[in-house]
Each structure stands twice: as structure tokens, then as C-alpha cells.
Amino acid sequence: MPIKHFLQFKDFTRDELDYLFARTRWIKTEFKAYRRYWPLADRTLVMIFEKASTRTRLSFEAGMQQLGGAAIYLNTRDSQLGRGEPVEDAAQVISRMSDVVMIRTFEQDIIERFAGHSRVPVINGLTNEYHPCQILADIYTYIEQRGSIQGKTVAWIGDSNNVCNTWLQAAEVFDFNVHVSTPPGYEVEPERAGLYGTDHYEEFADPMEAARDADLVTTDVWTSMGFEAENEERKRDFADWQVDEDMMAVAKSDALFMHCLPAHRGEEVAAAVIDGPHSVVWEEAENRLHAQKALLEYLLLGRIAS
Ligand code: CP
Ligand code: NVA
């Protein structure tokens, strides 16, 4: 049996994702009722971070503990990973001592190479190109709040980064539309985004037009981790790409606002929006925990008969 990894969103079929969301709902309900569920007793998750994190680390570490397992944190600064050990060698060793590995790193190629030499499932905890665990939680949150996302319009305002690319992959899997507005020079690169085609997204020069009649408006930082040298230039280039109250006003009246966090109020989003009535950012962040518990369960145990 080939090992199942979650390296980008399209690694999972619509059927698998629907199954994961059903499990997420059940796992969340049990957790909220303080009912113990320990299917991963004696299993170990290794988490490798080459970039900073609050939510991803916490949700994977807490999630693994809540499922009865253990999580070990490694980072580049104080492991041999930062001293030039080949990623293929690290994969051989780490995957002989653990049951599942989560990696947050730079190029997608690094995680692909790790997975190619791993004996256990590998999960992408964010790369320069993708952030599949984030969109797992985001789509679960949309469904929880509003029902099916099929046929809906998601407005992406800002950088065509890892989170944007993953929304675009998800649009192909779940058959919804993304209206993307980026400043000139920051447009979507379909090949880098790993898309099958261009049917599920449309690019808008004017962010207000992208947001018009949207069911969900979402954005992310102007400067992602690893691109800090471009920060000042990006602040200038993205100044007109802030999600503010005027922009939310042209979206549907019941539109949701999402942000993967951390956010910069006054840059990509106005405080009145992220702290306002359309915002579901705290539910979205919490659902990282529940959705990833379902992901860990699926990768380690397969489908649970219900
Ligand atoms: N959204 C997200 O992945 O947050 P962290 O960088 O805090 O993990
Ligand atoms: N696009 C951001 C997401 C952080 C969770 C980054 O890569 O830094």
C-alpha cells in the first residue's frame, strides 16, 4: 500500500474530504462534551518547524495529546536539520522513530523530497507554495456556518501566496469560484498553484469588484514568512488591497470574513472588519484543531466504520 501524505490540498479527493469533515464534526462534538477519545494511544507525531508558528504548532500538539498520542517539536535552530543534514537522510531516521510527521518549511520541493523517503505519512504544515491544513479548517468553518460551499464565490484580496494557492486548489475540488484581486506583479501563477485549469477563478484589477456579491471575503498578510526583505516594497504595492468596511458592504449581506492569522490590522484588514460582525476568524482558528485531529486519525487509522 502506498503511504498517504497530505502535501497539497488536491492530494485528497472530494470523497475523502467529505469524510474528513464528517469526522471533524464528530471529533469536535466529543471533545466539547469532554468525552475521552484516544485512538492514537502510543502513536507519535514529529513536528518540524523551519518557520515560526503559533496555531499550527499548538493545534497539532494539543490535537495529538487529545487523541491519546504524543507530539515532539523539532526546529531548524537546535537540530541537525539546520546544519546541512540531507533532507532524505532526516526523513529516513525521523520516520523510523515516529508514526506521522508534520513539516513547516520553505520550498514545496523540500517536503516532497522528505515524503519520498519517509516510511510514515507526511503533512504539509505550510510551505512557500501551499497551506493545506489551513484551508481544510477554513472550508469546514464555511460549511459549519453556511452549509455547502459548492457554487459559492470566495473573494481573495491581496497576495497570491500559499494560502491563496490552496484556496484555488480547493475551488477545483469543491467546485466553487474564487475572485482574486492582487496588485500588478503579484498575480496567480497557475502552475505554481498546482491547478488543473483556470475555470474556477477569475482575476480582478479592482479589489472592490472581486468582493462584489461574494459569499466569503478572505485575505492574508502582505508579506509571508521568508519574504521579509520585500516588506517595505510590498507595503507600498498593497496599500489599496485592504479589506475594509466599504469592501465588505459590496459583498453579500451575510458574507463571512476569514483570515488564517496572524493578522495586521490597518494593513491587509481593517480592525472594524476582523473584529466586526462578518468575521469568523476565531472559529476558523479553533477548527484547525478539530480538522487536523480528523486528518491525523485518517492518515494513521484509515476510515473508521460509523
Ligand atoms: N494560520 C497559521 O498557520 O498560523 P501559525 O503561523 O500561527 O501556525
Ligand atoms: N502566508 C502566510 C501564512 C501564515 C500562516 C505566510 O506564509 O507567512
How do the domains of the chain map onto residue ranges? 9-131+285-301, 134-282
pLDDT string in tens for the chain (306-residue length): 789 999 999 999 999 999 999 999 999 999 999 999 999 999 999 999 999 999 999 999 999 999 999 999 999 888 888 888 999 999 999 999 999 999 999 999 999 999 999 999 999 999 999 999 999 999 999 999 999 999 999 999 999 999 999 999 999 999 999 999 999 999 999 999 999 999 999 999 999 999 999 999 999 999 999 999 999 999 999 999 999 999 999 999 999 999 999 999 999 999 999 999 999 999 999 999 999 999 999 999 999 986
Point out the ligand 2 atom lying closest to the alpha carbon of residue 224: 8
> 133 C-alpha to center of ligand 1: Å?
10
Catalytic residue of the set 99, 179, 260, 290:
260
**Residue with CA closest to ligand 1 atom 6:** 53
Alpha-carbon gap, residue 113 to 287, rounded angstroms: 29
Residue 215 falls in the annotated catalytic set: no
Binding site membership of 225 for ligand 2 (Cβ less than 6 Å)? yes
Cell of 203: 482575476
Residue 4's pLDDT is: 97
- Residue from 288, 289, 292 to probe ligand 1 pocket by mutation (most atoms less than 8 Å from CB): 288
Residue 1's pLDDT is: 75
**Phi, psi (rounded to 5 degrees) for 100:** -160, 145
Residue that has been written with the C-alpha cell 496588485 in this structure: 183
Residue 220 falls in the annotated catalytic set: yes
Residue 76's pLDDT is: 86
Catalytic residue of the set 5, 23, 57, 131:
131
Residue 134 falls in the annotated catalytic set: yes
> 28 C-alpha to center of ligand 2: Å?
25
Binding site membership of 143 for ligand 2 (Cβ less than 6 Å)? no
Among all bound ligands, the one having the nearest atom to the CA of 225 is 2
Binding site membership of 263 for ligand 2 (Cβ less than 6 Å)? no
> 225 C-alpha to center of ligand 2: Å?
6
**Residue with CA closest to ligand 2 atom 7:** 224
CATH: 3.40.190.10, 2.30.30.760, 3.40.50.1370, 2.60.40.1120. Which one for 9-131+285-301? 3.40.50.1370
- Residue from 48, 49, 53 to probe ligand 1 pocket by mutation (most atoms less than 8 Å from CB): 53
Catalytic residue of the set 220, 242, 290, 292:
220
CATH fold of the domain at 134-282: Rossmann fold (3.40.50)
Same fold across 9-131+285-301 and 134-282: yes
Among all bound ligands, the one having the nearest atom to the CA of 105 is 2
Residue 104 falls in the annotated catalytic set: yes
Residue 77's pLDDT is: 84
Binding site membership of 70 for ligand 2 (Cβ less than 6 Å)? no
> 241 C-alpha to center of ligand 1: Å?
21
